[in-house]
Amino acid sequence: MALLLQSFPAREAVWAQVFAEADEPLILGADKVTDPAEVRHIACWIPPADLGIYPALETVISVGAGVDHMPPMPEGVRLCRTIAPGIEEMVRDWVVMATLMLYRDMPLYLSQSRAQRWVPHDVRLARNGRVGIMGMGRIGQLAAHSLTALGFQVAGWSRTGRPVEGVEMFGAAALDQFLGRAEVLICLLPLTDETRGVLGAGLFARLPEGARLVHAGRGAQLDMEALRVALDQGRLSSAMLDVTDPEPLSAGHWAWSDPRIVVTPHVAASTDHREGAEHALAVIRAARAGAPLPGLVDQARGY
């Protein structure tokens, strides 16, 4: 019984080494499977076309933190996401960078710099800044702690509003109160039926005037046209987007050249190959022991 990795050569090479060290069987690529009944686990970003052909399949592991790109699983197959410290630290770093960039008006200074204009604007202390994080899971909490350490007044919003030490927490029903204080709004939500399109005109209208948007969740959570209107109306003053809709952002899209927006091409994080392989081994071992699977996704909830 083996794990089938469906991925690209650089990842395959590292996984082959890690699995050999652990003496665990690994198949590199669906085209190398001789007997589908040998496949117990599949790790991939995009899975093989037909998951139904593997009669002993127990688990599908997304090699990233998100699972919104995955098709519905066959009956009885469990879905896991990758839990890897590197992913979480990288996104945390990107969010801290983006928050500081927007809070300290970097989009404006970048435009001025290109135009050779020496024009100072108000300078702000982090400790006077009120930041709101939508999505207080593994990454949201890490980002919250780093932003708090910089002095920002951090609040978090999550479905349950579960307490997080050092952070003022708001539950789903308290969205208005949460938004009303979010001078920098950070989105770290998973994409689900409930969060699709959540960053739209209705939400922007409830933010303090001139708020800034940091988005590293998923592109389909953001209504790009509503963003443009909110920027034009001064409701938002700037945005930093690691994820966009569409993705990649199409050639000539207005957001590329809007001086109020900084776009990065979904690079807040990428999964370290060794950490990904080690997570997969942890899933295999937990499954074998009948223990809870690391990164198990609630498929009904979508994350």
Number of chain residues interacting with ligand NDP (CB under 6 A): 31
Among 84, 144, 224, 268, the residue binding ligand NDP under the rule CB under 6 A is 268
Catalytic residue among 218, 235, 260, 279: 218
Packed helices 273-289 and 85-103: angle between N→C axes, nearest 10 degrees:
130
Q: Is 269 in the site for ligand NDP (CB under 6 A)?
A: yes
By beta-carbon proximity to ligand OXD, the closer residue of 84 and 203 is 84
**Per CB under 6 A, which of residues 12..71 are in contact with ligand OXD?**
64-66
Q: Where does the chain show beta strands of DSSP type E? A: 2-6, 26-28, 39-44, 59-62, 78-80, 130-134, 153-157, 168-170, 184-187, 211-215, 236-241, 261-263
Alpha carbon 19 to its chain centroid, in Å, reads 27
Site string for ligand NDP, 97-136 (x = CB under 6 A): --------------------------------------xx
Catalytic residue among 130, 181, 253, 266: 266
By beta-carbon proximity to ligand NDP, the closer residue of 17 and 148 is 148
278, 283, 277, 285: which is closest to 296 by C-alpha?
Answer: 283
By beta-carbon proximity to ligand NDP, the closer residue of 17 and 192 is 192
* 229 Rama sector, left if φ>0, alpha if ψ -120 to 50, beta otherwise: alpha
Site string for ligand NDP, 82-101 (x = CB under 6 A): -----x---x----------
Kindly state the tokens that stand for 154: 């951090």
Q: Is 218 a residue of the active site?
A: yes
Among 66, 129, 132, 276, the residue binding ligand NDP under the rule CB under 6 A is 66
What distance in Å separates the CA atoms of residue 281 and residue 78, rounded to the nearest whole number?
15
Kindly state the tokens that stand for 259: 């001086």
> Which of the residues are catalytic?
218, 266
